[in-house]
Amino acid sequence: MALPACAARALGPPLQPERGAPARTTCPRRHSRVEAELAASRPGSVAASVRVGPPRGVSRGFNSQPLLDEPLKASSSLAGAARAPLFALLLRGRRRRMHDLRRRWDLGSLCRALLTRGLAALGHSLKHVLGAIFSKIFGPLASVGNMDEKSNKLLLALVMLFLFAVIVLQYVCPGTECQLLRLQAFSSPLPDPYRSEDESSARFVPRYNFSRGDLLRKVDFDIKGDDLIVFLHIQKTGGTTFGRHLVRNIQLEQPCECRVGQKKCTCHRPGKRETWLFSRFSTGWSCGLHADWTELTSCVPAVVDGKRDARLRPSRNFHYITILRDPVSRYLSEWRHVQRGATWKASLHVCDGRPPTSEELPSCYTGDDWSGCPLKEFMDCPYNLANNRQVRMLSDLTLVGCYNLSVMPEKQRNKVLLESAKSNLKHMAFFGLTEFQRKTQYLFEKTFNMNFISPFTQYNTTRASSVEINEELQKRIEGLNFLDMELYSYAKDLFLQRYQFMRQKEHQEARRKRQEQRKFLKGRFLQTHYQTQSQGQNPNPSQNPSLTPNLNASQSGTQNLFQNLIQNLTQSSGQNPSPKENQESQKQNPGQEQSDGNTSNGTHDYIGSVEKWR
């Protein structure tokens, strides 16, 4: 960048005008100021005592005094009159603004000069550094002294291209998300996307023995028919997040209509004004706030088909789904939620056609809510529904007399509730675990043959994880939720076994498809080879009519042989027939053996080589 002539002269040595002669300059508008400087330099002049500054627009240099931000004084001296003849006619404020503008222009010129010299010095240093590197690497080929200008430019261009590529790569793939930046991408295969979210080993030792029917969960869900998915939402298990996935993150022919500002979405079947999903975000709390298994099984059919005649009601399949969570984390999360003012007073708790009485289900607090309660008070309430909530909401309460604790002993009641919850959970169409979000997504997609748009996200940091408890409190919470602890262990074992079973089934299916594809390609290859070989041996059979019967016999034999080969290739076992079977087939078809013998020996040799290759 070229500097003005005045600025370039200012960076050089100061002007030394000749005595008695005006100084010559390339700036035509600075003659008056230069004359003032010459007048001030003469001895005995009045303006000698006045401090002379540089010409306007020219900086003093590196070793000069800093610019003074002082207002110009209206002096009647010769220097003042010669320095700014135009400024004397302006007002005082206007002169001050013009002075500030001139000072800023001087600083800008100085900054541009410093930048130019700094870049030049940097380029010179970079050239020496690159030359040294080039000499170290390509020393045997060329020396630094013999490096011409073209090699320097080429090396500089390569370095700049490398820096540009690094900048673009960091912009496109920030952090460690890009697989190209990982060193293991070239040495090991891609990691399993469904690896355990808790960073534990994907393999585990099963504790329970489940049948194939218990592990294989594949529901023939017809969204265009009358089937209905019913979501049992247990408090503080991540059901809100999963419920939003069902209405906002699933690929459907007719997606759910969700409007801004409304919690519920309209999820209609394709071509019908009827919902296929019974959940909080589709139908609302139609059976009560956080209805349990006992309420849903008796309420959902009546709500869906209550307005129809019993004879006109379709035979629906109700597919129940739910989400479970670690009991300790769920209990702490519910305590924090209650501490913030949650009560769930709108829950009906209907069982056997009636809600519980105040004696059957007393309240743990007396005010409007239980906000601000400490953890000890939360655990000390014997009627707290947070204790073993997952077992209670998944079991059939009619088996134990609903909420009447005097029907049977407590030990027997707990056993019946736990077995009922396990049975209902095992026969549900689907259930997921909060601690395994990706596996939950995978099993739901395989069960209902419905895919989600974006993958689930595993949140390891929650409000429950922020609560620090000691070992004593942990054991007490586990004791208060001992039924939930047993149910969660059972559910986790069944969940992981189902996941492994589905993954193995998927791998076997993929292997079977690959084998069928290879067999099909082998058959096509043999077919094209026999056709080309038969055409090569008999280019024009009409010229030799005496060979026509033999040709027909050989062609029929080749076709029979080809059909036998195709049958052998399409067998699932893929094994070669034994010699005894070959001898028996030859005894049964002697004419075919004779016709086969009329074929060329090269064909038999090729078939033998193909069999060896197989």
Question: Which residues contact residue 268 at a Cβ distance below 8 angstroms, ignoring those fewer than 6 apart?
Answer: 254, 274, 275, 276
290 belongs to the catalytic site: yes
Chain centroid offset of residue 99 CA: 60
User: What gap in Å lies between CA 581 and CA 232, rounded to an integer?
Assistant: 61
Please report where in the chains the tokens 């800093």 appear, as a residue: 66
- CA distance to 33, 381, 410, 484, 614, per residue, from 414 (Å): 105, 18, 6, 11, 62
Distance CA 184, CA 167 (A): 22
Looking at residue 25, the DSSP 8-state letter turns out to be -
Burial 226-251 (b: 16+ CB within 10 A, else e): bbbbbbbbbbbbbbeebbbbbbebbe
Calpha distance 304→614 (Å, rounded) = 60
Helical axes 327-339 vs 471-480, angle rounded to 10°: 90
Task: Report how far residue 38's alpha carbon sits from residue 45's, in angstroms, rounded to the nearest whole number.
Answer: 10
From 428, 498, 393, select the one nearest 230 (Cα to Cα): 428
CA 44 to chain centre: 84
Q: Is 430 helix (H, G, I), strand (E, B) or coil?
A: strand
CA distance 550 to 175: 74
Please give the Cα distance from 556 to 539 (Å, whole number). 17
Give the list of residues 6+ apart from residue 418 with CB closer than 8 angstroms, or none.
391, 395, 483, 486, 487
Task: Given the residues 99, 233, 290, 349, select the one marked as catalytic.
Answer: 290
Opening angle at CA 15, ends 11 and 17, nearest 5: 170
Q: Catalytic positions, please? A: 290
